[in-house]
C-alpha cells in the first residue's frame, strides 16, 4: 500500500473513485466528485495535502484538505482548516484503509502547521482518528442553534492548545463556499456528470437528502 501526492495524470481516476465511493451514500447519486474537480483550482485547496492511496496497482483511496474560517463572536475571522471528501473505493471499504489514509494525512497536516480541523462526518469512523464533537471545544455549526450538540459536527486540535493560542473560546464554523459548487451551478454539474458512465440513482434508507 502506497500513499502519495495526487498528480494531474490521476485527476480523472480519482474523481471516478470519489464518485464510486459516494454514489447513493448520502443522497441518490452524489456530487463529491464535482466538488473535487472544481476545488483543485480554488485558492482554499491545499495541494500538499491532496493524497491518494494505491493498492494492487490502482488508486483506491483519496483525501483532500481545504482552508476554512472560524468566526469569533465579535465578527473576527480566524483562518482554520477542514478536509474532505475522503474516499475509499467500495471494494476496499471496512478493511482499515480509510483510517490509515486519514491518520497519515492528519500527521502530514500537523507537520504543515494545521492546528485545528472541523468537519461534518460520522463520529463512528472519525473518533478512531481523534475527532470528537466540535461543541466540546466551543465550536458551533453555522446552520444549527448555537447551544445544540450537533452529532455530525466534529473537530480536533492537531496542535494541542491551538484554539487557546488564538484566543478562541467560542466560534462558529460554516463549510467553505467551494463545497457548494454543485448546488450553485447545477447545469455545469449535470454536464460534468454526463461525462461519466451512467449509474442508477437510488433513494436508500440512511441517506441525508
Ligand X SMILES: CC(C)(COP(=O)(O)OP(=O)(O)OC[C@H]1O[C@@H](n2cnc3c(N)ncnc32)[C@H](O)[C@@H]1OP(=O)(O)O)[C@@H](O)C(=O)NCCC(=O)NCCS
The residues of the shown chain that bind ligand X, judged by CB under 6 A, are 21-22, 25, 84, 86-88, 93-99, 121-122, 124-125, 128
Q: How far is the CB of 198 from ligand X (least distance, A)?
A: 20
DSSP assigned state of 127: G
Q: How far is the CB of 187 from ligand X (least distance, A)?
A: 25
Q: Report the alpha-carbon distance of residue 90 to residue 140 in Å, rounded.
A: 32
* 45/168 with CB nearer ligand X: 45
Q: How far is the CB of 197 from ligand X (least distance, A)?
A: 19
* 81/97 with CB nearer ligand X: 97
Closest by Cα among 69, 61, 9, 63 to 35: 63
Q: How far is the CB of 59 from ligand X (least distance, A)?
A: 13
* 121/130 with CB nearer ligand X: 121
* Residue found by looking up cell 493498492 in the block: 55
Helices (H), 58-174: 97-111, 123-126, 162-165
Closest by Cα among 98, 105, 100 to 121: 98
Amino acid at each position: 500500500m502506497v500513499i502519495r501526492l495526487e498528480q494531474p495524470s490521476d485527476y480523472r481516476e480519482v474523481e471516478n473513485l470519489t464518485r464510486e465511493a459516494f454514489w447513493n451514500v448520502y443522497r441518490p447519486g452524489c456530487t463529491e466528485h464535482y466538488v473535487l474537480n472544481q476545488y483543485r483550482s480554488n485558492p482554499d485547496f491545499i495541494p500538499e495535502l491532496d493524497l491518494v492511496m494505491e493498492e494492487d496497482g490502482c488508486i483506491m483511496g483519496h483525501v483532500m484538505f481545504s482552508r476554512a474560517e472560524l468566526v469569533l463572536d465579535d465578527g473576527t475571522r480566524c483562518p482554520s482548516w477542514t478536509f474532505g471528501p475522503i474516499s475509499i473505493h467500495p471494494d476496499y471499504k471496512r478493511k482499515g484503509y480509510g483510517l490509515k489514509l486519514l491518520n497519515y494525512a492528519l500527521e502530514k497536516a500537523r507537520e504543515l502547521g494545521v492546528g485545528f480541523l472541523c468537519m461534518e462526518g460520522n463520529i463512528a469512523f472519525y473518533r478512531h482518528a481523534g475527532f470528537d464533537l466540535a461543541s466540546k471545544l466551543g465550536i458551533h455549526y453555522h446552520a444549527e442553534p448555537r447551544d445544540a450538540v450537533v452529532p455530525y459536527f466534529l473537530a480536533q486540535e492537531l496542535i494541542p492548545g491551538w484554539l487557546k493560542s488564538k484566543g478562541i473560546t467560542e466560534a462558529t464554523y460554516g463549510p467553505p463556499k467551494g463545497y457548494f459548487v454543485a448546488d450553485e451551478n447545477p447545469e455545469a454539474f449535470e454536464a460534468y456528470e454526463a461525462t461519466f458512465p451512467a449509474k442508477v440513482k437510488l433513494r436508500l434508507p440512511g441517506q441525508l437528502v
